[in-house]
Structure 1
Amino acid sequence: MESYILKHPDFLSSLKPLPLDPKAPVVAQKMLRAAQKAGVGPMAAVAGAIAEELGQALLAEGLTSEIVVENGGDIFLATQREVTVAIWAGASPLSGKIGLRLKRELMPCAVCTSSGTVGHSLSLGRADALCVIAKDTALADAYATSLANLVKGPEDFSTLKKALKKAPLLGVVCVVKDQLFAWGKELELVALNTPLQGKFFPQK
């Protein structure tokens, strides 16, 4: 990947989709495809693409029959049981109180998150957390960035809904302060009673 970026510096810096390149490394090709679908630069899919590549490699080697790979808020899951993923949304009063329940039938799948208020990743929006559920982790990562860019506040939830009409995703959750947006037939939200409440997620 590093040698490819040295020869194609725009792969690292572009905020817009780039043409597909059949000569690129496999992971880079996945990133390029995901970025084209989501309308963002390929690096928006890097964490998700690497998480799935690692997870699938370990499964293929027979080293495990179940795996969860988390890479900076972007998660590849392949389990034989139901899993609940907690949503961390920084200073939002909803942090740690909501989870995404992923049924066994959805596996393998991805949960990727973008934020304009938490972490170091680039976001043009101000969502505290925008989570995407999809079958492809690179795609979920790219769409998390793309959709989070649209949200400056709760008033943008209608714009978000319009953007999701043709999106190949299983579900989306967006948290902005104390407001919540949820979309998707496969989306199941659950209330959490996390022991971390008050320690990492201040009570409001």
Structure 2
Amino acid sequence: MDYTERSYRQHHRQEDLVHFQVAVEETDLDIGVRKERFSPELVEWVAETIRVCRKPLEDYVTKNPDFVSALKPYPVLPEAPEIVRRMSEAGRLAGVGPMAAVAGAVAEWVGKSIAKRSRDVIVENGGDIFMRSSRIRKVGIFAGSSPLSSRIAIEVRPNQTPLGICTSSGKVGHSLSFGKADAVVVLSPSVPLADAVATATGNLVQTPNDLEHAIEFASQIQGVTGVLVIKNDRLALWGNVKLLPISF
């Protein structure tokens, strides 16, 4: 896969939505909205929404550089910005540093903002998705060189949304992982939590023999509603996860 072109984005795009990309600094989002809601003005508004989302995080990081480098839970003061507190709490629950939740936190912030303008919205940020939908959706799973890659999809029903669908991989992408999973997908109403737990779960997978332990770990975290782990030609899942084959 050519990661720089983010070809994995085809796995979550929906035919009934208009998808467009907005990039601000390091944030590069793929966004889907209802066709009647799309406009050039919306694109400009989303870019400004991203800037508003990033500003308090950037200001906090400038004053607290250890927040970025922490690989373990990093407590913050109650008066910290909301996005910082949500990242810190997600990291605490998952047992990882708060930056493991940053992509999910931004996707959720922007997604909830757009949801005020479009009943259906999908925001993808580096493999981490915020979704709100009025219809059944299918989200394909990219799992690198695994023979299961692009062969299965997760079905998401409207009553499951808003939902975070976050993916971590020890083989694909630029995010830090200490494991070798082809794909770990975590579902949660909290996108930052799904992001952090996907990272923590992926860290546990070195061989296919680690799947059961990884699933058990993720399933014990309050707020997680589903987990899928893929290593080579094997997969394990738990919770509210319905898999469907992808036909060609």
Aligned-partner Cα distance in 2 for 1:130–1:164: 10
The DSSP-based 3-state class of the residue aligned with 1:164 is helix
**Runs of at least 5 residues in structure 2 that lack an aligned partner in the other structure:** 1-56
1:76 aligns with 2:130: yes
The range that moved more, 69-78 or 11-20, is 11-20
Whose helix proportion is higher, 1 or 2? 2
Q: Distance in 1 between matches of 2:82 and 2:219?
A: 29
2:235 aligned with 1:180, yes or no?
Answer: yes
Distance 1:132 1:165 in 2: 10
RMSD, matched Cα: 1.1
* Runs of 4 or more consecutive aligned structure 1 residues displaced over 4 Å after TM superposition: none
What SS does the corresponding residue of 1:16 show, helix, strand or coil?
coil
The alignment covers a number of residue pairs equal to: 191
Q: Which amino acid aligns with 1:158?
A: E
User: Distance between the aligned counterparts of 1:66 and 1:162, measured in 2?
Assistant: 33
Q: Aligned residue for 2:150?
A: 96
- Structure 1 match to 2:98: 42
Matched residue SS, 2:119:
coil
Q: Deviations over 1:134-154 (max 9, x none)?
A: 111000000000000000111
Residue 121 (structure 2) aligns with: 67
For residue 46 of structure 1, what is the amino acid of its counterpart? V
**C-alpha contact 2:131 2:163 (8 A) present in aligned 1:** yes
Greater length-normalized contact order (CA 8 Å, ≥ 6 residues apart): 1
Question: 1:1-204 alignment to 2 at 5 Å?
Answer: 1-60=57-116, 63-168=117-222, 169-184=224-239, 186-194=240-248
What is the CA distance between 1:101 and its match in structure 2? 0.5
**Distance between the aligned counterparts of 1:162 and 1:188, measured in 2?**
18
Secondary structure in 1 matching 2:115: helix
- The alpha-carbon deviation at position 165 of structure 1 amounts to 4.4
Structure 1 unaligned segments of length 5 or more: list them. 195-204
Deviation of 1:65 after TM superposition, in Å, equals 1.5
| Partner amino acid, structure 2, of 1:72 | G
SS in 2 for 1:174: strand
AA of the residue aligned to 1:74? D
The alignment partner of 2:227 has SS state of strand
TM-score, structure 2 as length reference: 0.75
Give the deviation of 1:162 after TM superposition: 2.9
Provide, for residues 147-186 of structure 1, a one-character-per-residue CA deviation record: whole Å limited to 9, x for no partner: 00000111111211331342221111111111111111x1
Amino acid at match of 1:83: R
